[in-house]
Chain A
Amino acid sequence: MIEVRNTTKSYRGSIVVDDVSISLPAGGVISLIGPNGAGKSTLLSIISRLLPASAGTVTVDGMDVATTPGDVLARRLSILRQDNQMTARLTVRDLVAFGRYPYGKGRLTAEDEIHIRRVIGYLELDAHAGRFLDELSGGQRQRAFIAMVLCQDTDYVLLDEPLNNLDVKHAVAMMKLFRRTADEFGKTVILVLHDINFASCYSDRIVAMRDGRIVYEGPPETIITPEVIHDVYGVRADIHEIDGKRMALYFR
């Protein structure tokens, strides 16, 4: 379980995350939605100890992320931010293999090799495993980064806009993979998503943020409603139920 208690982040007087408290139980897919600048990415970075909070505490299974040794946490929680610029020239396989770093500090065991091969297969990167990252398309590169994080095989996987750069086919495959990671392997996948309908179709819970605060949280049925969407994003949306999933139409 991840517990966020009275967490605030401010930069020179402007508050980005405003006194947020929430408990996220282990297991399932949780989506963070909200307009630009709502503080979703910042909250994700604080939970994953990439950013120190200005106030408040975050615990992961009882461990305070601010004080727990980094290598202990790296075996429980993994994080991928958006906009990953890479200057080092690594092959896809090497990058994914670094996901095993928290376990062997660079020495790969036979078990590590199995993990690496399996994850590369899941993300359909077999054909590109030996290629350098700078030779790949944006979408392939994004899949390689996600492969590295999944190869870390942590209980909690945090991803900031993982669908960036992905075409429709790969975006759907990616969401299915997250679903599978949660259902089959019992992981907790926490995503920042911009596409409300992906959140609706694949999440167990949705957390909606606005102006640095959590304004709604609950299962998709309670979040994907015209009132909530209007309150969070300020747009009118028609909600249609298709095959038991609630879809928001907001293009008009």
Chain B
Amino acid sequence: MRWLLPAAGGVVALAAASLFVGVSDVTMGSLFSPGGSDEAVQILLASRLPRTLALVLAGTAMAVSGLILQMLARNKFVEPSTAGTAESAVFGMLMVTLLAPGTPIIGRMLVASLCALAGTTLFLAILRRMPLRSPLVVPLVGLMLGAVITASTEFVAYRYDLMQSVRAWETGDFSGVLRGRYELLWISGVLTAVAYAAADRFTVAGLGEDFTTNLGLDYRRVVALGLVIVSLVTAAVIATCGMIPFLGLVVPNLVSLMHGDNMRRSLPWVALTGAGLVLACDIAGRLVIHPYEIPIGTTMGVVGSGLFLYLLLRRNAGGTGRAA
């Protein structure tokens, strides 16, 4: 617990760094110098600050969503992009774009989250019907379900020449974030707070349906609450900046190694680590081929898959490394 404050300090430092990385010259000097400060302040308020806030909100919420989904599916390899959630949300976005193009962004997001809810519920329903739940089969089922949904999405998108939009939703990219175009993410911020308030319930649900019933909780209601949070968060992130891969998978697993899965204790760590990792990957993406940018979907994919490999190998190396 005593490391939580220093870790929060680290995230704040990364957020501050994120404000000052970019093509135009925004520095402490240019902000406060008497001449030409207007432009720097403009860029800070219209672009840099929204981008940094979006990174923190999306990173926190996606990492926490991964944790919730892992508790509900009782599997460490599950996250919104291996449970059909993200793919269903993209499908929803495509459908609104096609059928009701004039819908405001909040409406699109709601439709996307309804689709995400349906897709994830289907995933959990399939899991319940599977007799033998080997830990590795669970994410495979999610990936297959996701692939089926993506196939339908791309079939339609190809027909109607909307492949580019689909790619934008599938690949996280914060370069387009401006004031007025990211505020939806505050919804995920609120939902993260709700998740913290319900942390004990999710931990109990993570013990399984029988334990949950024994402790007097309605298992289905806990699952429903978790699914609603995960679906809304995923839809909000996809609608504003696109899917961030691996985040919900890697962060909860890393935190679990050190702090376990009692969510009351681990959720602040998951939130901080998620924000920190997303900030770091975005900053790296802006620096590597400066003045151009690599989208975070790519940098996160590289860093995340590396971390995931490490986690997998570690699991096998340890004597007590019982799979999931």
Contacts and interface: CB of A to CB of B under 8 A. Distances in A.
A110 B207 CA distance: 25
Contacts of A72: 216
Contacts of B208: 84-86
A23 B13 CA distance: 66
Contact of A134 (B74, B210, B211, B320): B320
Interface residues of A, number: 35
Contact of B214 (A50, A69, A134): A50
A156 to B, nearest CB: 12
A79 B216 CA distance: 11
Contacts of B322: 134
Contact of A91 (B75, B216, B218, B260): B260
A14 interface: no
Contact of A101 (B71, B75, B215): B215
Interface stretch (B27-35, B150-158, B198-206): B198-206
Contacts of B213: 49-50, 70
Interface in B194-236: 199-201, 203-204, 206-208, 210-211, 213-218
Contacts of B199: 106
Contacts of B204: 98, 101
A79 B260 contact: no
Interface in A78-110: 78-81, 84-91, 94-95, 98-99, 101-102, 105-106
A73 interface: yes
Contact of A105 (B70, B75, B200, B214): B200
Nearest to B205: A88
A74 B215 contact: yes
Contact of B210 (A50, A91, A99, A132): A50
B66 to A, nearest CB: 14
B5 interface: no
Contact of A88 (B71, B135, B215, B218): B71
Given A80-B214, A90-B260, 12 more contacts: A69-B216, A71-B217, A74-B216, A84-B211, A87-B74, A87-B206, A88-B261, A90-B207, A94-B260, A101-B217, A132-B260, A134-B320
Interface of A: 48-50, 69-75, 78-81, 84-91, 94-95, 98-99, 101-102, 105-106, 132, 134-135, 149, 152
Interface of B: 70-71, 74-76, 135, 199-201, 203-204, 206-208, 210-211, 213-218, 256, 260-262, 264, 320, 322, 324
9 contacts: A71-B216, A72-B216, A79-B214, A88-B206, A88-B207, A99-B215, A102-B215, A132-B260, A134-B320
